[in-house]
Amino acid sequence: MPSPSAIAAFAAASIVLLLIPGPAVLYIVNRSVSDGREAGFAAVAGLSLGNLVHALAAAVGLSAVLATSAAAFNTVKWLGAGYLVWVGVRTLMTAPAEIDPDQPGVSPKRAFTQGIVVNILNPKVALFFLSFLPQFIDADSGRPGMQALVLGLVFVLIGFCTDGTYSLIASTLRHVLLRGRTLPFIRRWVAGSVFIGLGLVAATASVSKSTSK
């Protein structure tokens, strides 16, 4: 089991990531604005299931990587950190696409199944598990797969809460939210800066605690 301090630190990092508008948040906003609160909450449920898939994959994958070698473990972390920085720079340099509130609607069932696919294919979640989750696993404590699973479940629970909050706000404000300038600013400048920050933290964090004796 991860230590309480590791869980708390990981939870704080998860909240920062989950509050950044990415593919999942944009999908929630689309569904909530176009099709109402019921479809929005159905999308949240589907996205949460997609997060669970990432959590299970991380538990299996990180355990296998740690069992292979410390060098392989560190390679995964460095590649993930570099990619996070690259995503952040690209986000800062690209104007976000507009969300169309008048696009054809979907049923709650369809919103649920689409939500699963959106998050399974969501690079932001995958990269977070690959580059940031390993920082909170202590190989010396044993059972790294179980540690990764516990942290992954924490991420799923927090994601359900943050995604649900986005759906509630989006379905309530609807057109008012999309006509303002706040959401585009967050999607570009705040999101890009935070991605770069997460990448730098992952790159500069000490790896000896996780991978060496």
Rounded to the nearest 5 percent, the helix, strand and coil shares of the chain are 85, 0, 15
Q: What is the pLDDT of residues 68-91, one digit of tens each?
A: 566 666 676 677 677 768 877 987
Q: What is the pLDDT of residue 69?
A: 60
Task: Give burial (CB, 10 Å; 0-12/13-18/19+) of 91.
Answer: buried
Count of domains forming the chain: 1
Question: Over 50: is that where the pLDDT of 209 sits?
Answer: no
User: For residue 20, which of 77, 88, 118, 111 has the smallest C-alpha distance?
Assistant: 88
User: For residue 59, which of 151, 147, 154, 145 has the smallest C-alpha distance?
Assistant: 145
pLDDT band at 193 (very low <50, low <70, confident <90, very high): confident
Q: What is the pLDDT of residue 154?
A: 93
* Gap between the Cα atoms of 206 and 202, Å rounded: 9
Report the pLDDT averaged over residues 87-100.
77
Can you list the alpha helix ranges (DSSP code H) found in 141-190?
Answer: 144-173, 175-179, 182-185
What range defines the domain where residue 26 resides? 4-211
* Gap between the Cα atoms of 168 and 152, Å rounded: 24
Q: What is the pLDDT of residues 16-57, one digit of tens each?
A: 888 877 778 877 877 787 777 898 999 999 999 999 988 888
Predicted model pTM: 0.67
Q: What is the pLDDT of residue 175?
A: 67
Report the pLDDT averaged over residues 117-136.
76
154: phi then psi, degrees, rounded to nearest 5: -60, -45
